[in-house]
Every structure is written in C-alpha cells, then in structure tokens.
Structure 1
Amino acid sequence: MSNIAIAPEALRDAVAAALGERAREVSLSRGEVTVVVPHAHYLEAMRTLRDAPACRFEQLIDLCAVDYSTYGNVGTEGPRYAVVSHLLSVSLNQRVRVKVFCPDDDFPVLPSVTGIWDAANWFEREAFDLFGIVFEEHNDLRRILTDYGFIGHPFRKDFPLSGHVEMRYDPELRRVVYEPVSIEPRELTPRVIREDNYGGLH
C-alpha cells in the first residue's frame, strides 16, 4: 500500500494505458485527470478503473449529471446530457474524474454502475430525479428529492424557475393539494446602489 500519490502526468498515462480504446479522451488540467468514455464502453471502462493494478479505484465518491443544452451559445456542440463520476483509490492515493455522454437527448439512458459500486445507488436516483437520466439495471430507480407526484426534472435548463405546479395544505380537504402555478414568471434585475466614499473610494 502506498500513501504517496503518483504525479498527475503518470496517473494520466496509467489510466490511458489501462483503458486503451475504451477511452475517448484522457486529459490533465489543473493537476486533475479527466477521462471521457463512450457510452458503449462505459461499464467495461468503469470495471477496468476499479480492477486494473495501476488504477484500483475502489470507491465511487460522487456521481452527478450535467445539462449541456446551452453550450451551443458559446460555440460548443454535442450531446445534451452527461454523467460525471469521481473515483478514489484509497490504496494508491489517487483520484480520477470520468465523463460519459448520453447518446439520446430526448430519452437519456445509461447503464447503472451500482453493480460495480453500491454507492452509486442514491447518486443515480438523484440524477434520474433532477435530470431525467434513466439508468438501466438500477434495481430501485425512484425519485429521491422531489415529491412522488412531481412532474418534470427541475435541474434541466429548460425547466421553468417557478415549476409547473404548486402545493398547499387545504384545511377543508385536510390534505395537500396540487394546483397550477399562479405566479407570473418575471426576471428580477438587482439594483446597485453606490454610496459616496463607500469603502474609502471616491
């Protein structure tokens, strides 16, 4: 067991060698290694990252989704949804980030990695709940943060800030009721007030 992490460049090269063609890209930025894998090789690549002697990423410490739908505004094209995982090797004292894109923007689906790391269970449920990404072979893919009757996926960039429905307790019915949102959508622009000599500035 080693407590000394290898250099980031060496980790990048070790991960690239272990994954081979199963990695679309292995990059190093700000001392962090990021791997982009095709969805078709996602499970195989994740198993390799867990089991390969130079990798040994025993723990999945985070998994989240990203909506890239507005990237076209800055001149970047590509699939809309990605899942990003952060893996940790306790035995080798190293970390890696793995990114995989969903092939279908209209119905984003990826295989579940719960069979590789149990810790993925609630993370994948959160990505399903908030972004609508379906994880195949997940044995309990239910919403985890929003209510059972919630409509839509609130972290998608096209989801309205006010939501679609609002809920309130009805004392006559003695239960929670759902109604269409009654708030008119509006955009607030903050007003900046600059005082004379604020902070000693003139």
Structure 2
Amino acid sequence: MSENLLRLQTALQDALGDRIVSATLALGELNVVLKAKTYLEACGILRDHDALRFEQLIDLCGLDMQDYKNEVNEGPRFWVVSQLLSVSNNLRVRIKVACPDDELPTVPSVNDVWSSAGWYEREAFDLFGIVFEGHADLRRILTDYGFVGHPFRKDFPLSGHVEMRYDPELGRVVYQPVSIEPREITPRIIREPQYGGAK
C-alpha cells in the first residue's frame, strides 16, 4: 500500500473519530464507511480539516444491495457512495453511508458542503428512491415526472409499470399499463460434440 494512503487513513481516523464505522485499504483505494447520524457533520470535516481538504465531490451514486453478489444481503439495502478529491493534497477517498430505513431510504443532503452534489442527489433519488433531507430541489431528473417507481431498484420489473404511446385519435401522448407480457430471456445453449474442432 502507498504511504500516502496509510497517512490519509490515519488522518481520517484522527479527524473523524467515532463517526467512522470502518476504513479499509483495498486495491490501492481507501474506502470509508460513515455513520448515517453523523454523515453531514463528517462531510464538513472532510472538506475543511487541514490534513484532509477534500474540496471536490466528483461523484455520488446510490446502491441497491438487495441480493448482492447473488446472495441475500443481511445488512442495509440502500447505500450512498461518494468519490472525493483533494486537489490540495492530491488524494482521493470513497465515502459510503447506509440508509438506516429500507422502506424510506433517507440520508442528509451534502449539497451545502459540495454544490456539485445537487444533480447527483437528484439522480440517486430518481433512480433508487433515496431521499436526501435538506435538498432544496429534490425532484426527478432522468425519468418523466409521471414515472412510477425507481428503475435502478433490483425489484423494479424489467418492462416497467406503464408505457406511453402517441394516440392519433386524441392527438397526444397517452400513458397506459404495460402491454408486454414478461418472459424469461435465457439463451439456449447448444453443445455439439464436434463444435470448434473438439473431438
């Protein structure tokens, strides 16, 4: 592991203390899991602390951990993952926080800490249904305003809930329940004894 990453891990543990659930080094990256209750406070420290100075949020996304790696996940279902960059110190860190409630996944908005979070949080809300408390304009950004559900959730049907089409008689677009019958799309595998020159 890089000495810079080991120094960063120590600086994070000193600055954030018990706000950290875990901090692990893997594949040349530092992954920090924060407590949901102190998430917003910890993000302010990550930005302002002299040893850290993570001035930029370069990405934020949601995760649905239901059936992670084809196994039933026993922990929280929804997570928010952020990638931070310290231009001053030339360092990166990945921050993760679990939404405590699977029925209404909610975490504080970090838009007041990093203004770039605005659209990222709207995207995570739209696609996963994660609510960011304190966000000034939390509304859909990629799907239509009348869209039903959150399409990146693992329990969202592949064909969706509604479809739209242009109705020439009405002269406008209409929404209706999906008319596509769901079907299993499993490729058929044919094993021929002489395929590819095998004997």
TM-score, normalized by the shorter chain, greater than 0.5: yes
The yes-or-no answer on 1:79 pairing with 2:76 is yes
Query: For residues 151 and 130 of structure 1, what CA distance do their matches in structure 2 show?
Result: 11
3-state DSSP of counterpart to 1:19? helix
- Corresponding residue for residue 57 of structure 1: 54
Quick one: which of 143, 156, 159 aligns to 1:159? 156
How far is 1:13 from its partner? Answer: 1.6
| 1:181 partner amino acid | V
Question: Is 1:187 aligned with 2:184?
Answer: yes
Q: Which residue of 1 aligns with 2:34?
A: 37
In the superposition, relative to structure 1, how do residues 115 and 28 fare at CA in structure 2: closer, same or farther (>3 Å)?
A: same
TM-score (norm: length of structure 2): 0.92
Segments of 5+ residues of structure 2 without an aligned counterpart are: none
What is the RMSD of the two structures over their aligned residues, measured on CA atoms?
1.8
Gaps of 5+ in 1: none
Change (3 A) 1:164 1:116: same
CA distance in 1, matches of 2:151, 2:6: 38
Partner in structure 1 of residue 18 of structure 2: 21
Q: CA deviation at 1:145?
A: 0.5
Give me the identity figure in percent: 64
Change (3 A) 1:115 1:171: same
TM-score, length-normalised on structure 1? 0.91
Aligned residue among 128, 131, 143 for 1:131? 128
Correspondence for 2:111 among 110, 114, 131: 114
Displacement over 4 Å in runs of 4+:
193-197
1:57 aligns to what SS in structure 2?
A: coil
Distance 1:153 1:40 in 2: 25
How many residue pairs were aligned? 197
2:86 corresponding residue in structure 1: 89
Indicate if the aligned counterparts of 1:71 and 1:77 stay in contact, CA closer than 8 A.
no
- Local SS of the residue matching 1:56: coil
Cα displacement string for residues 68-110 of structure 1 (whole angstroms, at most 9, x for unaligned residues) = 1214963641111100000001111110000001111111111
Q: How big is the shift at 1:194?
A: 6.1
Deviation per CA, 1:127-166, whole angstroms, max 9, x where unpaired? Answer: 0000111111111111000001001101111110000001
